[in-house]
Structure 1
């Protein structure tokens, strides 16, 4: 269970990085703060560096980049966030109820992010224009990729799910690009398979525009995506909850439908006629 996700709301920590252009190394440190707050508020710069897998001077430079005199000042700020965060556990019910209510919070934050409709609409147009449309999801992200692709295939003429790693993954990416693909939709979720990040690099090398649905603006996918769409992952149970990423996937599919309304209507009507003829459903 990720206690920090409850004690310090993720958005409070993310606000520290808002509007700051971070280097890839600094993003790793930022991601460490998000994942391990408030524990890092009581760690030394050397301990944070070890936790994030970077050098101690990198942690100091990171603190300065955020406008602090040094790491001690940043640590004091993190402690303030910890002290000021409402706990609310006494009234939140048992741990299962708390986990579900945390997901409600994740969905509420996602709703706030969707205020910029133009950005989602533009991303929908980008994906709708890609023929074929490869959809990447490895390990824990594979079910989300399959769920999205199942419905996307009803309105898009050529959706290709990439849910297996290994050397064949690069082959399939290159084949999609050769067939005319212009974009890749990738689901990049903790624990961030190395193969997924390698695939994002290879997709860009193949000329594809990478759209990534991931759990945080400072996730490792940020270094490899042209369009980053964050949706928080619940971490209060033994295994992660992907409620918000799945909701975001369906919102993005709506944007794809909106980008090609005539084709969407034609393909949906054709499917309904086929389903009725074959008596696929009981209703």
Structure 2
């Protein structure tokens, strides 16, 4: 999650290139067409987008494990002549205070349209795997939902929805706790939903690698910067979070959570419906929610 800076009125125009897109948007738009080595470089650009200007092209190549020539080809693939032009682009973005705050009705309309597009993109990504993922989450003996930092609220919401329709749904990590004790016993019969939006701690990749080695199916809910992480999981549901406002938006992720929970309820059938009814009765008996 990033905060906005005030944009001075004298800021230079943002270099937009031939397509009018920012660097991160260009990477997202062209990633699928990049050669494998350039994809490694693109992953580094996304992972370090907030502080790219502090690196040299050679340092970025080292981080990506590719040659300087590969990074140069990547910059050209993204519409820049060289890394100097990338730096100019990044400085201009900072000068404009991007991400920018919303300030007019036109901006609000654009925000609503962008949110709708993000939701459609996430729903389309989910549709590819919906049957397999919903079956897994409905019938696995245990489901573990993992989320850290800004991913935690989405993970908490998903756990709350799933536990409405099935038992044995855990949320990790618990406040102030590590997760090793809870994941060490996971088996290929269990299921993990890894919520991992950008600004992920480095331990997330180690966790995904361990789960893959254990044969535990993993569903990844994450934004486009998780492409490298996605190679270690069973299914990846891409949920865009990028906006032109000051903060990331999790509207698409919330929509995916609702769709997943509904699909799991459908697959749980009568058992799921009975659980929903029992929980509703407990709410009223214990006075946890307002009476309707």
TM over 0.5: yes
Q: Deviations over 1:39-93 (max 9, x none)?
A: 98xx9xx944534653685353477xxxxxx4464253799xx9xxxxxx9xx95
- Check the 8 A contact 2:46/2:225 in 1, yes or no: no
Contact 1:27/1:218 (8 A) holds in 2? no
CA distance in 2, matches of 1:122, 1:114: 15
Relative to structure 1, the CA distance from residue 233 to residue 279 in structure 2 (aligned partners, 3 Å threshold; closer, same or farther) is same
| Deviation, structure 1 residue 203 | 1.6
Q: TM-score, normalised by structure 2?
A: 0.70
Corresponding residue of 2:168: 158
Q: Which runs of 5+ in 1 are unaligned?
A: 64-69, 83-88
Contact preservation (8 Å) 2:41, 2:64: no
Aligned residues: 259
Is 1:114–1:120's contact at 8 Å kept on the other side of the alignment? no
The yes-or-no answer on 1:134 pairing with 2:144 is yes
Structure 1 match to 2:265: 257
Alpha-carbon distance in structure 1 between the residues aligned to 2:109 and 2:202: 29
Superposed CA offset, 1:75-124 (max 9, x none) = 53799xx9xxxxxx9xx951898489447414413314424635222211
SS in 2 for 1:233: coil
TM-score, length of structure 1 as denominator length: 0.72
Equivalent-residue separation in structure 2 for 1:97 and 1:190 (angstroms): 28
Find the counterpart in structure 2 of residue 74 from structure 1. 77
C-alpha distance 12-220 of structure 1, shift in aligned 2 (>3 A)? same
1:188 is displaced (CA, Å) by: 0.5
Structure 2 counterpart SS, 1:185: strand
Residue 42 (structure 2) pairs with residue 30 (structure 1):
yes
Correspondences of 1:67-216 after superposition (within 5 Å): 70-71=73-74, 73-76=76-79, 94=103, 98=107, 101-102=110-111, 104-115=113-124, 117-164=127-174, 168-177=178-187, 181-216=189-224
Any stretches of 5+ residues in structure 2 without a counterpart?
6-13, 90-97
